[in-house]
Amino acid sequence: MSLFILRHGKAEFRAPSGRDADRRLEDLGRAQAAYIGLLLSNPRPPIDSAPSIIITSPVERAHTTAAILCEALAISPQVDERLSLQADLSDHLELLRSHFSSHSTAHPDVLLVGHNPTLDELIATLVGCGDAGNTLRTGELVVVSPPKPAQHCVVLGRFRLSTPAA
């Protein structure tokens, strides 16, 4: 079991509505999501298998990122307010607790799509450091090992398409 944490793809600077939650993905953000979808649909180490569950923020840019991934993986996204812009670290941790407690024996791989700074805080908490040291960039995926009793998780890999493929 792995935990996948993805910051939404690159989004427009300002939405026509002026609302942060309405910001849409730019072409680069769509390409980033498609790249991650391709990567996950053809797993290679350190990715052992594709996530079977994708949980996303309801915010436009995150939801669109998740939809692109879900199309590549032939699954449907689950929307959860605990990944929204208003959510904090305790919301993210509660989401993980509820996911893992509802899958008591077999923990399916899960991918979260959300926002910074909370995703950075989540990674730092899971790997046991006050500062993750690397800010999660737009369109970046971090793969984290499953937690073991009395141990922290380990970052297995970081993946991101920086520029669109030619």
| pLDDT tens track for 7-61 | 999 999 999 999 999 999 999 999 999 999 999 999 988 888 899 999 999 999 9
Token couple for 157: 């890999």
Q: What is the pLDDT of residue 101?
A: 79
Q: What is the pLDDT of residue 48?
A: 86
Q: What is the pLDDT of residues 57-100, one digit of tens each?
A: 999 999 999 999 999 999 999 999 999 999 999 999 999 988 87
Per CATH, domain 3-159 is 1.10.357.10 = no
Q: What gap in Å lies between CA 139 and CA 34, rounded to an integer?
A: 10
DSSP 8-state assignment for residue 147: P
H-only helix segments in the chain: 27-41, 60-73, 89-102, 118-127
The one-letter amino acid at 53: I
Q: What is the pLDDT of residue 163?
A: 66
H-only helix segments in 14-58: 27-41
Q: What is the pLDDT of residue 166?
A: 45
Q: What is the arithmetic mean of pLDDT over 112-126?
A: 94
Q: Is residue 1 predicted with pLDDT exceeding 80?
A: no
Q: What gap in Å lies between CA 110 and CA 31, rounded to an integer?
A: 21
Task: Report which of residues 166 and 161 the model is more confident about.
Answer: 161
Q: What is the pLDDT of residues 128-155, one digit of tens each?
A: 875 545 789 999 999 998 666 667 788 8
DSSP H or E stretch at residue 159: strand 155-159
Question: In this structure, are residues 46 and 157 in contact, taking their beta carbons and an 8 Å threshold?
Answer: yes
Give residue limits of the domains in the chain.
Answer: 3-159
Q: Is residue 125 predicted with pLDDT exceeding 70?
A: yes
Q: What is the pLDDT of residue 130?
A: 55
Token couple for 93: 């941790």
